[in-house]
A = this chain, B = another copy of it.
Amino acid sequence: MIKVGIIGATGYTGVELLRLLAAHPVVEVSAITSRQQSGKKVADLFPNLRGKYNLCFQSPDDSPLDDCDVVFSATPNGVAMQHAQGLIAAGKKFIDLSADFRLKDVKLWTKWYGMTHASPELLNRAVYGLPEINREQIKSASLIACPGCYPTSSQLALIPLLANKLIDNDIVIDAKSGTSGAGRKESVANLFAEAGDSIKAYGVDGHRHLPEILQGLNHFSSESVSLTFVPHLMPMIRGILITAYANLIELDVNLQSVYEDYYQGEPFVDILPAGMSPQTRSVKGSNMCQISINRPQSGTKVVVLAVEDNLVKGAAGQAVQCMNLCCGLEETTGLDIIGLLP
């Protein structure tokens, strides 16, 4: 059994990691840290876990992670970068679900996250945990930076077009997310009575996932991508839908085949048949990203639709997928979950 520790499992990505790992056949969660909840049973905080975990949250001061083979960090930004060096030095695989190691450019990171980075020397060592793009690197990584929720579906939606040089560099991503993306923390804006039965755009002038998406897309583009990214808050709990708009520069192409070929054999990317529009509910609770490729009225604009569960493929599921890869397990282990529909 692989011994797993989780730092900061009191939020939504934390409880989702616990849900997924409970069903993982070769993993044992042996430690969960939280200074604030120290001594409390995880099943008291998250009653869906009753009967599955007897673990209590432990103070990080008690070194509960010493015996772990793999450590996930599900903390707010700025925490993982404090721990990474020590854990890697102790021979553990460190899988970070926060943004601390996602950007390669430390200046860019500082600009968008408003902090000085505690371990800039690790940025190049960190492997960006998007298996469909970086599978081989992930297999041998000791420090994995799991992608953000929006960046996961955004990159999966657009990379086949860029990699095949089918579009120009002017890209619009209109993204819609459920409120769980804002995390499990006190807030007025995300109250049911505020976010319910209503929608709004936010971060229009610049969302932190913008530079991350750009970094990923620019890898596949000869010209620097000019990206407009507008996220929206939806009155739903889980799920992200990306509607991406781009301009075709090559019109004589079967886009459906391009995508089917690009993701052939991928266990967690599902190219829908032409004409089927993805719905977030089809992937609720699952690690799947469903994509549909459209060319309205056979024009020059291509519209890519992609859905994921922001807490699974957009966070905890992808982290487990990375763990499977870097631990030499079958990539799909513990992740063969069907979306909860309805």
Contact = CB atoms under 8 A, between A and B. Distances in A.
A300 to B, nearest CB: 8
A280 B283 CA distance: 20
Nearest to A281: B198
A336 B23 CA distance: 8
A116 interface: no
Nearest to A278: B200
Nearest to A341: B48
A236 B235 CA distance: 7
Contacts of A294: 204-205
A12 interface: yes
A301 B172 contact: yes
A119 interface: no
Interface of A: 12, 15, 19, 22-23, 44, 46-52, 170, 172, 174, 176, 178-180, 182, 184-188, 190-202, 204-206, 226, 228-230, 232, 234-239, 241, 243, 245, 247, 270, 272, 275-286, 288, 290, 294, 296-297, 299, 301, 303, 305, 311, 336, 338-342
Contacts of A195: 192
Copies of this chain, whole number: 4
Nearest to A202: B277
A228 to B, nearest CB: 5
A296 B199 contact: no
B184 A188 contact: yes
Contact of A192 (B191, B230, B277, B341): B191
A234 B237 contact: no
B196 A237 contact: yes
A49 to B, nearest CB: 7
Nearest to A48: B339
Contacts of A193: 12, 178-180, 182, 184, 190, 237, 342
Contacts of A19: 338, 340-341
A201 B235 contact: no
Contact of A228 (B186, B238, B270, B296): B296
B176 A232 contact: yes
Contacts of A241: 199-201, 232
B299 A228 contact: yes
Closest 7 CB pairs of A and B: A198-B281, A48-B339, A174-B174, A186-B186, A200-B279, A48-B341, A179-B192
Given A198-B236, A206-B296, 12 more contacts: A15-B341, A22-B338, A49-B338, A174-B245, A176-B199, A179-B191, A190-B193, A191-B191, A192-B194, A194-B342, A199-B234, A228-B245
15 contacts: A23-B338, A50-B282, A50-B290, A51-B270, A172-B245, A174-B174, A184-B191, A192-B195, A197-B238, A199-B236, A200-B278, A200-B279, A205-B297, A285-B285, A340-B340
Given A279-B200, A280-B199, A342-B194, A228 B301 contact: yes
Contacts of A236: 196-199, 235
Contacts of A339: 48
A340 B284 CA distance: 9
B47 A192 contact: no
Contacts of A176: 176, 199, 232
A340 B339 CA distance: 10
